[in-house]
Structure 1
Amino acid sequence: MDQTHARALEAIQPFVALATSNSATSPRFVANIVTNATSASQTYVFAELLETPTIQALAAPDCPAEYKGYLKLLEIFAWGTWQEYQETPNLPKLSAEQTLKLRLLSLLTLASTTKPLTYQALMKSLSLPTTADLESLVTTAIYANLITARLSPASTPPTINVTSVAPLRDVQPQSLPKMITLLTEWESRCGEVVTDLETEIARVKVNAQKRHAKEQAYRERLEDAVERRQAETARKGGNGMDGRAADDFDEDDGFVSGDNGESWSRMDIDEGSGVGRGGSRQTKRVVGRKT
């Protein structure tokens, strides 16, 4: 699409050169420039030609009435539509080449502003009598790289699905203040978004610093606790018994001391194994008595 725009700019240059030459002295000559420029196959942008003094001179009061309409005709080719041409009186008649060109340019505008782009709406806006004429026009636009589109005649309703449009329509001067306002509002919204993003970034950084400080403090407390635990363990002798020696505990030798100084073993041995005759358990004998 950018190449199409570059070719269109290049194609209009010979006509701009004619309009700025010393030969462009009569309204008739200037009108011929407009006719030839709008009929050429690769010319789709006309703003540069419109800005030349000789073209603008067609609006002068002393310009013959038969040539005044050529300025309006060139403006319609620059940013207007086929329907606008049909509704504007006293305009020059179009040749077959001009008719095709204006319909192609109008198709670009309609593809950018009308959704969905139905067969019926296009045929009405472009004054095309049959669907075959419409499909031929759309096919020409596709092969000329003016649009990227797909015909859907079997859909309900039949539509043309346009995915891209070449930037070939000029901007109407009266629309510039509105465009400037829209761009200013867009710039303001972009500034607000950037400010919000910067605020969010600052908040994330502050939270990250706080989290890092908290983790650092936790690690320091953990290391201090480990060091204190190790020091305490070393102070207690490393045996986990609060410094008490092993001989502080009474060793059980298996004997019991009596009141008279005698001692005996706490192990009892039965005289017999099991229950004796008569169903009574036999008497236990204490062994291991020592004096």
Structure 2
Amino acid sequence: MDQIHTRALEALQPFVHLANSNSATSPRFTTNLITNATSSPNTYVFAELLETPAIQALRAPDTPDEYKGYLTLLEIFAWGTWQDYQATPNLPPLNETQTLKLRLLSLLTLSTTLKPLTYNSLMSALSITAPLDLESLVTKAIYSSLITARLSPATNPPTVNVTAVAPLRDVKPQSLGPMVSILTQWETRCGDVIGDIEAEIARIRTQSVRRRAEEYERNVLFEKALAGWGAESGEGGKKTAGWQGRDRGGGLGGGNKREFSADDFDDDGYWEHGLEGDMQGLGSRMDVDDGAGSSSRLGAGGLGARHPKRVLGKKS
């Protein structure tokens, strides 16, 4: 779309040079220049031509009436529509090329101001009586890269779906004030939105810092509690180990002991010494306690009653 604007500016330059030349002194020459510029196939913008002194000279009071309408005609081609041309009296007639161009330029304006773009609304605004003529005009605008659109004749009502419009319409000087006002209001709203966003960002950052501080304090408390629990667990482990050692060392519940030598038995299962052996010697050779945990059993007269040892001898 920008390329079509560049081409339109380039196409207008020869007419601008002619308007600025020394020969552009008579109203007839100026009006012919306007007619040729508006009839040229690739000229769609005219603001630069309108600003030339030769064109503005047509506003002079001494300009003949037959030439005064050409300046208004050029303004309509710059920012007006077909309806403006129809509603303005004393304008010069248009040739076929000018008629097509003004309708194409009007279609650009209507595509941005008229919603929805139905066949009936466009035909009424462009003074077209047949739908086929409207479709031919829209097709011409599409292939000239003036608009990006799609025809929908089968819908109810039939419509023209425009998705892009080339920036080829000039700005009317009287509309600059409202445009500045609208842009100022938009700037104010943008500033308010940016202020709200910055305030929200500051609030989120403050909350994030507070959450991090709270999380750090919780971690510190947790580590202190974990360290205290570890110290208490270590002291309890020492006490438990002491009790276990005491229990293993004998204490009140010493384990039973059965000590003997396999050599003390002969082949028939009797002790070597028999009955003649010294009891003291036998006692030194064998120490057998019957019954597991006998030392922990309480007797009638003391801490525990020791069972008598059995003395085994040889068979007679």
Q: TM-score, normalised by structure 2?
A: 0.78
**Residues 54 and 68 of structure 1: CA distance in aligned 2, closer, same or farther (over 3 Å):** same
| Cα distance in 2 between the residues matched to 1:96 and 1:262 | 137
Give CA-to-partner distance per residue, 1:89-139, whole Å, 9 cap, x none: 100000110000000000111111111111111111111121111111111
Q: Which residue of 1 aligns with 2:297?
A: 255
Aligned to 1:209, the other structure's residue is in SS state helix
| 8 Å contact from structure 1 (residues 45, 170) kept in 2 | yes
Alignment: residue pair count: 266
Query: Which segment is superposed worse, 18-27 or 69-78?
Result: 18-27
Unaligned runs of 5+ in 2: 254-292, 310-316
| Cα distance in 2 between the residues matched to 1:242 and 1:261 | 30
Q: Which residue of 2 aligns with 1:149?
A: 149
| 8 Å contact from structure 2 (residues 297, 303) kept in 1 | no
| Cα distance in 2 between the residues matched to 1:246 and 1:47 | 109
Aligned to 2:151, the other structure's residue is in SS state strand
Aligned to 1:257, the other structure's residue is in SS state coil
Query: Which segment is superposed worse, 207-216 or 241-250?
Result: 241-250
Aligned to 1:75, the other structure's residue is in SS state helix
Q: Which residue of 2 aligns with 1:51?
A: 51
Q: Which residue of 2 aligns with 1:84?
A: 84
Q: Which residue of 2 aligns with 1:127?
A: 127
Aligned to 2:184, the other structure's residue is in SS state helix
| 8 Å contact from structure 1 (residues 45, 169) kept in 2 | yes
| Cα distance in 2 between the residues matched to 1:106 and 1:16 | 23
Q: Which residue of 2 aligns with 1:224?
A: 224
Query: Given residue 175 of structure 2, which amino acid in structure 1 is its aligned partner?
Result: S
| Cα distance in 2 between the residues matched to 1:48 and 1:197 | 42
Unaligned runs of 5+ in 1: 266-287
| Cα distance in 2 between the residues matched to 1:122 and 1:114 | 9
Aligned to 2:298, the other structure's residue is in SS state strand
| Cα distance in 1 between the residues matched to 2:303 and 2:174 | 130
| 8 Å contact from structure 2 (residues 296, 304) kept in 1 | no
Query: Given residue 56 of structure 2, which amino acid in structure 1 is its aligned partner?
Result: Q
Query: Which segment is superposed worse, 11-20 or 63-72?
Result: 11-20
Aligned to 1:256, the other structure's residue is in SS state coil
- 2:139 matches 1:97: no
| 8 Å contact from structure 1 (residues 233, 240) kept in 2 | no
Aligned to 2:155, the other structure's residue is in SS state coil
| 8 Å contact from structure 2 (residues 252, 296) kept in 1 | no
Q: Which residue of 2 aligns with 1:285?
A: none
| 8 Å contact from structure 1 (residues 264, 289) kept in 2 | no
Question: Larger radius of gyration, structure 1 or 2?
Answer: 2
Give CA-to-partner distance per residue, 1:18-37, whole Å, 9 cap, x none: 11111110111111111111
Aligned-residue sequence identity (percent) comes to 60
Q: Which residue of 2 aligns with 1:281?
A: none
- 2:189 matches 1:189: yes
RMSD (CA atoms) = 2.2
Aligned to 2:191, the other structure's residue is in SS state helix
